[in-house]
Amino acid sequence: MISFNRFKYKLVALIMVFSMAVTGVFANGNEDPHTSGDHPKKEKFNVKEVIFGHVKDAHDWHVISIGELHVTVPLPVIMYSKTRGISSFSSSEFHHGHDAHDGYRLVTAHYLKEKGLSDKVYTDGSVIAVDGNDMPTNEKVYDLSLTKNITFMLIGALLLVVLMLNVAKSYRIRGSKQAPKGFQSLIEPVIIFMRDEVVKPNIPGGKADKYVPFILTIFFFILINNLIGLLPGSANVMGNIAVTAALALISFVVMMASTNKYFWGHIFNPPVPGGVKVILAPVELIGVFTKPVSLMIRLFANILAGHIIILSIISLVFIFGSLNAIAGYAFLPITIAFNIVMMLLELLVAFIQAFIFANLTAVFIGQAMEHQGDHHH
């Protein structure tokens, strides 16, 4: 009980530090570090711009802002077009969207306003080809850049490999007969639970062991990226629908590779009266493709919504502060308290969403392995 209380207090203290750190990032998140002059113009706090600036992908990694000091890590920009070939350079060459480089420009709200372009045609944060007058050429280009989300996704994947190799090394050294220690003792119950309570009950026919590594990889990859996304200055990887779409596509491919003739017979020839078959068969076929779509949207929406709620609560400090400085400082303790609750909830959501994605993937794979006569039960 004493050790649990210590862990609880340390966790709350850690979340308070994270909340204050994120607040520190926000405090300068709406200022332009490259504004000319000794005294940069103070812009009105724009909640929408700041929140979506933190949750969307970017070509650089903004770590933190302390006063006028902005710590930003530039990332590689890799562009390809049929006429220009491959161009690669650092994102710092864009100077936060103020300059074009090598015939390419980073689209910003300021650039669109200056050139009189529509934000419905050009997406803020994307890279486009421009001519000598800094105007879009509407040339088809392919962005192969190492963006913030991709960088953190690679970090998450590398962390997953290192942690799992460390656990495997412990088993090789200590053997499976000895009680686990350290990180191994933390991971082993999770692996056993996922194997015995998720994979085996849902994938019948003695084929469950073949799918255990796949389900565990999906679970830990999503979990690690969810947890990393809660750190200040990190990327919102699972809040990007392109990432969740890729994971859902992988699950869909594995599910389709696991199908058999009985599964497709149930889809195109459901065990219902003839007149109903005409209606039910298309519905069953559509259901095959809506399963991965539900996986994609569920994970994306839950993670993105959690981040937006936390950032919105933090924004209240600066909204009240823009009205009155005293009101802003008075609301700060309330914001920290709300953030502690939300961060604890997001920790829970990080585990739940990883479990739901892995569990439903196992369910869908098991349904694809339908045997003759299964539809009669």
Note the pLDDT tens digit of each residue in 191-250: 999 999 999 999 887 788 899 999 999 999 999 999 998 887 788 899 999 999 999 999
Residues 61-88 pLDDT 10s: 887 766 667 778 899 999 999 888 999 9
Given this model, what pLDDT does residue 183 score? 81
Query: 40-54, 237-251, 319-333: lowest mean pLDDT where?
Result: 40-54
Residues 352-373 pLDDT 10s: 999 999 999 999 999 888 665 5
Which range scores top for mean pLDDT: 64-68, 148-152, 169-173? 148-152
Q: Which is higher by pLDDT, 45 or 48? A: 48
Interior/surface letters 235-273, b for 16+ CB within 10 angstroms, e for the rest: bbbbbbeebbbebbeebbebbeebbeebbeebbeebeee
Q: What's the whole-number mean pLDDT along residues 156-180? A: 85
Q: 85 near 110, Cβ under 8 Å?
A: no
Q: Return the ∠ at Cα 36 (arms to 32 and 37), rounded to 5°.
A: 120
Residue with tokens 């992908």: 57
- pTM value is 0.81
**Per-residue confidence at 339, pLDDT binned at 50, 70, 90?**
confident
Overall size of the chain counted in residues: 377
Given this model, what pLDDT does residue 32 score? 45
6 burial via Cβ count (<10 Å: 0-12, 13-18, 19+): exposed
Q: Which is higher by pLDDT, 55 or 32? A: 55
Largest CA distance in the chain: 80
User: Which tokens belong to 114?
Assistant: 């200056």
Q: Which of 167, 166, 163, 145 is nearest to 155 (CA)?
A: 163
Kindly calculate the radius of gyration of the chain based on its CA atoms and give it in whole angstroms.
25
Mean pLDDT of the chain: 82
Query: 15-19, 158-162, 291-295, 325-329: lowest mean pLDDT where?
Result: 15-19
Query: 1-15, 28-42, 155-169, 208-222: lowest mean pLDDT where?
Result: 28-42
Q: Which of 241, 238, 220 is nearest to 229 (CA)?
A: 238
